[in-house]
Structure 1
């Protein structure tokens, strides 16, 4: 599979490009970015071709990996799908429900495969734990805390305009939901939402499976307090999401594998664009309560 990269920011440089360049199952066929000079630098670093025009790249690849802000990702992903390219997308799929829906419809109508890279879902320990708890059932409630220090350190992501505007709800909220939804079921309603320090958001969710969950999401946590925790309580007792043994680079390689499998078999991946769209719908409902 020939795969092109859309985007040249820190995430593309740290994860996407190295993972694509080092993956034996794909040909890293090119890079397009909103800044041509940065696209050339990244392409040269990984021995591939820079593209000045996104449509030229779409015409010459089988798939695209997207490392762009969600408001840029969504229209380009729709364009890529309609050009017949499989989609390896970042989270959130979109911060507009309508734009996300357009991506899903384009992928379905074109028959292309899609995978949204939600890091935890592509880490073996976490993925196995999620599947085990989903099979076990009988959960009464869950607590998820996803606390980042992006805005309280010198993180390369701290200056991101979309993160500054949308905050933790849209940045780390998808990670928390990607763990909770397959275990507790879809969200029937966002029962409550409240703001905390900085960009912190507190949510209470009512799930179709009968359980409730609480989420605390932040990018402004003190560095010493940062980290992710998911705890389930139910008939089987108490269990917590295990720590991952590897990082985002290895997880992204598994996401590439998942796209290859979905494209080859025609079977949708659990983290496809439709799942990403559902996550965006839940976050949009929470955002409406937060700003209402």
Structure 2
């Protein structure tokens, strides 16, 4: 039996050619439109509708307000130039901070000192890009909506979350990163879609698997920068709000609750406004 050999078809030149959105000297992160189906935080099935479960008797019975934490979106010139303009999409860090413990401003300064995500591997060598020494907070659009009675307060440059007493800040951070994993840049660059996109534009995928070189008392330690996401704050911030809400709901209401008569407990009332301590950190 003769086995036929399939000749690969030539690439479609229209598919390989991005459409220019900005002039070559624009400071915008996205200066060309690329024909790529980008991932979105929360995945394609994420609902943007307000969630009624926060007002349910089950949630009010089980939720007790505990530690306050902030979710914020910092960026820097290095991410915009070395990453965003090369990939043709914005890339931002999405992080959490225990506001009372350290606050937001010290975290931004630490990111700059460490030059977070400045490095990557190329041909067996470590390359360090410029522009990762000064980080700023992204503003969030004013039209964001929180689900009724959700323990979340929106600020101009961050999202305040009142965690349940049974959910630690460390566990919340880990759960949030897992929920955002669809759009984590390093993993996406190694996926079939990411490899194909990089091949279209002659980019090395390793350039987008970012590293941080930490000074450990005279020796250097390279760590993966796993909190960089393909994310557009002004277009996708509502998705971030819903992802945060889902993390809280999944912890308080992890599955179908057994049928039982609720015990008499004082009902939780969500905060109408953020605390002054939080506002001092998030409103700049």
By the TM > 0.5 criterion, same fold? no
Q: Normalising by the residue count of structure 2, what TM-score does the alignment of the two structures yield? A: 0.25
Higher helix fraction (1 or 2): 1
